[in-house]
Chain A
Amino acid sequence: MGKQAAIELKNITKTFGSIIANKDVSLTVNRGEILSILGENGSGKTTLMNMISGIYFPDHGQIFINGQEVVIRSPRDAFDYKIGMIHQHFKLVDVFSAAENIILGLENEGKFNIKQSTSKIKAISEQYGFEIDPDKKVYEMSVSEKQTVEIIKVLYRGADILILDEPTAVLTPQEAQKLFAVLRRMRDDGKSIIIITHKLHEVLSLSDRVVVLRKGEYIGTVETKETNETELTEMMVGKKISLNIDRSEPKNCETRLEVKNVSCVNREGVKMLDSVNFEAKSGEILGIAGIAGSGQRELLESIAGLQKLTEGQILYHNPKTGKTDNLGDKTPLQIRDLGVRLSFVPEDRLGMGLVGNMDIVDNMMLRSYRKGKTMFLERKKPKNLANKIIEGLEVVTPNANTPVRRLSGGNVQKVLVGREIAASPTVLMAAYPVRGLDINSSYLIYNLLNSQKEEGVAVIFVGEDLDVLLELCDRIMVISSGKISGIVDARTATKEELGLLMTKNNGGTTDEQ
Chain B
Amino acid sequence: MIVAFIQRAVVQGIPLLFGSTGEIITEKTGNLNLGTAGVMYVGGMTGVIGAFLYEQSAETINPVLAVLIPMLSCVLGSLFMGLLYSFLTVTLRANQNVTGLALTTFGVGFGNFFGGSLIKLTGSDTPSITLTQTSNCFKQALPFADKLGWFGDVFLSYSFLAYMAVAIALIASFFFNRTRAGLHLRAVGENPATADAAGISVSKYKYLATCVGSIIAGFGGLYYVMDYACGVWSNDGFGDRGWLAIALVIFAIWKPSLSILGSMIFGGLFIVHNYIPNLSMSMQEIFKMTPYVVTIVVLIFISMRRKRENQPPASLGLSYFREER
Chain A residues with CB under 8 Å of chain B are 16, 53, 55-56, 74-76, 78-79, 85, 87, 91-96, 100-101, 103-107, 109, 112, 139, 153
Within 8 A of A (CB), among B236-279: none
- B323 x A112 contact (CB < 8 A): no
> In this assembly, does B193 line the interface, its C-beta being within 8 Å of a C-beta of chain A?
yes
- B194 x A95 contact (CB < 8 A): no
- B199 x A92 contact (CB < 8 A): no
Q: What residues of A have a CB within 8 angstroms of the CB of B314 in the complex?
A: 94-95
One of B178, B183, B197, B308 near A91 (C-beta < 8 A): B197
Interface centre among B178, B183, B193, B200 (most CB of A within 10 A): B183
> In this assembly, does B67 line the interface, its C-beta being within 8 Å of a C-beta of chain A?
no
Determine the residue in chain B with the shortest Cβ distance to A16. B325
Alpha-carbon gap, A106 to B184, bound state (A): 9
Alpha-carbon gap, A95 to B309, bound state (A): 7
> In this assembly, does B198 line the interface, its C-beta being within 8 Å of a C-beta of chain A?
yes
- B199 x A96 contact (CB < 8 A): no
Q: What residues of B have a CB within 8 angstroms of the CB of A92 in the complex?
A: 191, 194
Q: What residues of B have a CB within 8 angstroms of the CB of A74 in the complex?
A: 196, 199, 201
Minimum C-beta distance from B5 to chain A (A): 39
> In this assembly, does B55 line the interface, its C-beta being within 8 Å of a C-beta of chain A?
no
Alpha-carbon gap, A103 to B178, bound state (A): 13
One of A56, A105, A109 near B195 (C-beta < 8 A): A105
Alpha-carbon gap, A94 to B309, bound state (A): 10
Q: What are the interface flags for B29-60 relative to A under an 8 Å C-beta threshold, 1 for contact and 0 otherwise?
A: 00000000000000000000000000000000
Alpha-carbon gap, A112 to B185, bound state (A): 14
Alpha-carbon gap, A100 to B180, bound state (A): 9
Q: What residues of B have a CB within 8 angstroms of the CB of A105 in the complex?
A: 184, 187, 195, 198-200
> In this assembly, does B190 line the interface, its C-beta being within 8 Å of a C-beta of chain A?
yes
Q: Looking at chain B's contact residues, is the secondary structure mostly helix, strand, loop, or mixed?
A: helix
Chain B residues with CB under 8 Å of chain A are 178-180, 183-184, 186-187, 190-191, 193-201, 308-309, 314, 322-323, 325
Q: What residues of A have a CB within 8 angstroms of the CB of B178 in the complex?
A: 112
Q: What residues of A have a CB within 8 angstroms of the CB of B198 in the complex?
A: 75, 91, 104-105, 153
- B190 x A93 contact (CB < 8 A): yes
Q: A104-B183, A105-B184 are in contact. Are A94 and B322 (CB under 8 A)?
A: no
Give 6 CB contacts A-B under 8 Å: A16-B325, A93-B186, A93-B187, A106-B180, A112-B183, A139-B308
Beyond known contacts A91-B198, A93-B194: 5 more, CB 8 A cutoff: A53-B197, A76-B199, A105-B187, A105-B198, A112-B179
Determine the residue in chain A with the shortest Cβ distance to B311. A95
- A95 x B308 contact (CB < 8 A): yes
Alpha-carbon gap, A81 to B196, bound state (A): 16
- B308 x A75 contact (CB < 8 A): no
Q: A93-B187, A93-B190, A112-B179 are in contact. Are A104 and B323 (CB under 8 A)?
A: no
Determine the residue in chain A with the shortest Cβ distance to B323. A56
- A96 x B184 contact (CB < 8 A): no
Alpha-carbon gap, A353 to B183, bound state (A): 38
One of B190, B197, B309 near A55 (C-beta < 8 A): B197
Determine the residue in chain A with the shortest Cβ distance to B325. A16
Interface centre among A56, A74, A92, A104 (most CB of B within 10 A): A104
Interface centre among B183, B186, B197 (most CB of A within 10 A): B197
Q: What residues of A have a CB within 8 angstroms of the CB of B194 in the complex?
A: 91-93, 101, 104
Minimum C-beta distance from B182 to chain A (A): 9
Alpha-carbon gap, A94 to B313, bound state (A): 11
- A96 x B325 contact (CB < 8 A): no
Alpha-carbon gap, A74 to B204, bound state (A): 13
Q: What residues of B have a CB within 8 angstroms of the CB of A75 in the complex?
A: 196-199
Alpha-carbon gap, A54 to B309, bound state (A): 32
Alpha-carbon gap, A511 to B62, bound state (A): 77
Q: What residues of A have a CB within 8 angstroms of the CB of B195 in the complex?
A: 93, 104-105
Q: What residues of A have a CB within 8 angstroms of the CB of B309 in the complex?
A: 95
- A79 x B199 contact (CB < 8 A): yes
